[in-house]
Structures are given as C-alpha cells and as structure tokens.
Amino acid sequence: MVVAKDGTGTHRKIRDAVKAAPEHSRRRVVIYVKAGVYTENVKIGSKKTNLMLVGDGAGKTVVVGYRSVHENYTTFHTATLALYQWRRSTSLIVSVLVVAAAVAGAGFIMRDMTVENRAGAARHQAVALLVSGDHAVVYRSAMLGYQDTLYAHAQRQFYRDCDVAGTVDFVFGNAYVVLQNCTLWARRPLPGQENTVTAQGRRDPNQSTGISVHGCRLLPSPELELQRRAAGRWNGDFAPDTLYYGEYRNSGPGAAVGGRVPWPGHRVIKLPEEAMEFTVGRFIGGYSWLPPTGVAFVAGLTV
C-alpha cells in the first residue's frame, strides 16, 4: 500500500491504509508513506501485527498532531497516530490508548519518518510517539515534541539512529527499551522548568523494565541556552529507594561524575559484566527477533 497526499498512491491518508491492512498477519505488511506533512489521527490496533510504516526520510515524511492536556485530554489521549488496545485482567478491563504515534500490534516497524506533536511547551504533556507493542523497532526516524515526547509504554522496543527532542520527561514509560546510536535533543523548557530526559514508569517491583541509552548523544537544541539538564527525573535531594541509574564509560563535557547526586541508586558502573545487562542482546533479547527486521544493531557493549 502507498500513501500519497497528491492521490498517486492507494490511499491519501495513513489511517485509511492502516484500516485496510490485514489483521493478525504473519507476514510483513508494508505501508509506504510518500513525502509530505500528514496532519491526521491514526489508530494502530493490536490486531495489526507485523505492520511496517516506511517514509521517504525523517523530515520528509512527517506526521503531525496538536493535542495536549491543555485541551483537557489525558496524556494518553494526546494522540496523532493513536492506538487503542484493550486487555483483560482478572478484575477489570483496562483500556490502553497509545498516543501521538501510538502502536500496540506486535512486530511493528517504523523507519525514515518524523512524528511530531506541535502543541508546544506551554501546553504541557503532549506525546509524539507512543509504542505499546512487543518487538517494536523505530529506525532512522525523529520524534519531536516538548513534554512527554516518546512514550515507550510497554513490551520490548528498539530505537536505532533516531532523534528525540523534548523538554520534560521526553523519554518515558514502562517498556524494556534500548535507544542505540540516537541523539536526544534538550529543547528550551518553560520558565522555571529544567530539562529532564528520562522518566521510567515502573510501579511493580517484580518487573525488570527500564530505559537503556546506549551509544547515544545528549545535546542542547540550538535555541536552548546553556543550563543544567537532568538525565533522569529528580526532586531536590529526594530519590526513591527503588531507583537504579547507572552510567558506564560516558564521554563528553557532561560525563564527569564528580557532581552527580549522592543517591544510593546512582551507580558509576565499572565492570563490563554489569553493563552487559543493559545491552540489546540481554536487556531486550535482540538476538532472537531483530535480525529479520534488517535494522542494524550492536548486541554487546561496543557501538
């Protein structure tokens, strides 16, 4: 299927192509989205398995949304590409809504696209991309927003050669997620705010979810004046007992660990055996499912 704004494809809108895609597919279903800016709401449901969205390049194929909590949406409902996934528990039915580019079907791949929420910093939480599907891959793409840009909601996810831009908690969620060879751009926050890159959302102490930032760059965007940035969410001198925040062989101007917070949960990892637990090979079991995607990855420590 081909999506083109000028009518030269099979569909003019991404959501129409997604709707036409087969359900529970065991084979890869490819939707090619030609260059253009697509302002629309797209729902990718859990029945749309093995779906692949391919654009003409980040910055060329752009999906745009404007929803935010300022308009009385919940964070989950600030959706441009949105997924609704229902799951049944023993006592209730939980509705999980996937946001701005929101995905729950297993085996999802997105490559060479930009997903953006243009609500702006003043409108607070406004998700650009939310992924809630197992074995999800995002490659050579950009996720642009301000607060809550990338919502790695659940399951195993891999991001390679991507750009993520935001202000507060702009990589967050409760997935097993590895970002490899990506660039995280801190944008200018609201007055009185400070940049916070990650906010891991685990509530169950029995889980082992987390956010692994591997071989990536953390940079200020051009409009951001030099100021302090927090890699993880923080609150003065307080930190929960459950915190684990590890650093291994970082480099660059911000890599010196002498000024780090003195929390028991902050670790300067010295042994490669400990750092290996957060690699693609071990943390998300990438050996077993990434090779068929055709996306480059490094399973070990060396990027």
Active site residues: 169
DSSP letters for 97-163: EE-SBEE-STT-EEES-EEEE-S-GGG-B--SEEE--TTEEEES-EEE-SBT-EEE-SSEEEEES-E
Q: Check if the beta carbon of residue 67 is closer than 8 Å to that of residue 115.
A: no
Distance CA(144)–CA(163), nearest Å, equals: 8
One-letter identity of residue 269: I
Look up residue 15 and give its two tokens.
Answer: 């959501």
Contacts of 50 (CB under 8 A, 6+ apart): 25, 26, 27, 28, 29, 105, 106, 107, 108
CA atoms of 228 and 239, how far apart (whole Å): 18
Residue 269 tokens read as: 């990892």
Q: What is the DSSP annotation of 18-66?
A: HHHSPSS-SS-EEEEE-SEEEE--B-B-TT-TTEEEE-S-TTTEEEEE-
Per the document, the length of the chain is 303
